[in-house]
Amino acid sequence: MDNEFKSTEKLYRAVYPPEIADMFWKLDGTVSSAAFADPKGLSVDRGDYRSDEDVMSVMRSKFTGHIISVYVKNCFDANALVLYRPSHSNPYHSEIHGSLDRAILSKSQRVHLARCAEILTPRPIN
Amino acid sequence: MIVKQMDVRSNIRKYFDIAYEGEAVIVPRKQDHNVVIISEAEYNKLIQERRLNAYAQAVGGVPDRKKRIISERGSDLRSHNADKLSAIRAFKPGWNGNGAPAFAPGLIDTVGTLIGGLDIQPEVFPTAMGTIQLEYDNSRHDHMEIEIIAGSVDAEVYIIRFNGEEEYEQMSVSADAINKRVHDFYG
First-to-final CA distance of chain A:
39
User: Which amino acid, one-letter code, is at A81?
Assistant: L
Do the chains contact at A107 and B158, CB–CB below 8 Å?
yes
pLDDT at B44 over 90: no
- The SS3 call for residue A124 is coil
Tell me how far apart the alpha carbons of residues B111 and A9 are, in angstroms, rounded to a whole number.
39
Q: B63, B55 in Cβ contact below 8 A?
A: yes
Mean pLDDT of B78-88: 90
Q: Cβ contacts of residue B156 below 8 Å, gap of 6+?
A: B146, B147, B149, B168, B170
CB-based contact (8 Å) between A109 and chain B? no
Tell me how far apart the alpha carbons of residues B178 and B169 are, in angstroms, rounded to a whole number.
12
B145 exposed, middle or buried (CB, 10 Å; 0-12, 13-18, 19+)?
A: buried
Which chain A positions have a beta carbon within 8 Å of B129's beta carbon?
37, 39, 104
Structural domains of chain B sorted by starting position, each given as residue range(s) with its CATH number in brackets: 5-59 (3.40.1620), 66-186 (no CATH)
Percent helix, strand and coil across chain A, each to the nearest 5: 25, 25, 50
Tell me how far apart the alpha carbons of residues A66 and A15 are, in angstroms, rounded to a whole number.
5
Q: CA-nearest residue of chain A to B123? A: A26
DSSP assignment of A84-109 equals E---SS-TTEEEEESBTTB-SPPHHH
Do you find a cis peptide bond into A17, omega within 30 degrees of 0?
A: yes
* pLDDT given at position B64: 44
Spans of all domains in chain A:
10-119
Q: Which residue has the higher pLDDT, B106 or B43?
A: B106
pLDDT over 70 for what percent of chain B? 85
- Which residues in B147-181 are b (16+ Cβ under 10 Å) and which e? bbbbeeeebbbbbbeeeeeeeeeeeebeeebbeeb
What pLDDT digit, counting tens, does each position of B103-121 carry?
A: 999 999 999 999 999 999 9
What pLDDT digit, counting tens, does each position of B118-155 carry?
A: 999 999 999 999 999 999 998 888 999 999 999 999 99
CB-based contact (8 Å) between B91 and chain A? yes
Tell me how far apart the alpha carbons of residues B105 and B166 are, in angstroms, rounded to a whole number.
32
Tell me how far apart the alpha carbons of residues A96 and B98 are, in angstroms, rounded to a whole number.
14
Tell me how far apart the alpha carbons of residues A75 and A113 are, in angstroms, rounded to a whole number.
7
Query: What is the residue-level pLDDT of chain A in tens, covering all 126 positions?
Result: 888 899 999 999 988 776 666 789 888 878 999 999 999 999 999 999 999 999 998 988 877 778 899 999 999 999 999 999 999 989 999 999 999 999 999 999 999 999 999 988 765 443
CB-based contact (8 Å) between A103 and chain B? no
pLDDT at B55 over 70: no
What is the pLDDT of chain B when averaged over all its residues?
85
* pLDDT given at position B31: 84
Range among A61-65, A121-125, B50-54, B80-84 rated most confident: B80-84
Q: What is the pTM of this model?
A: 0.76
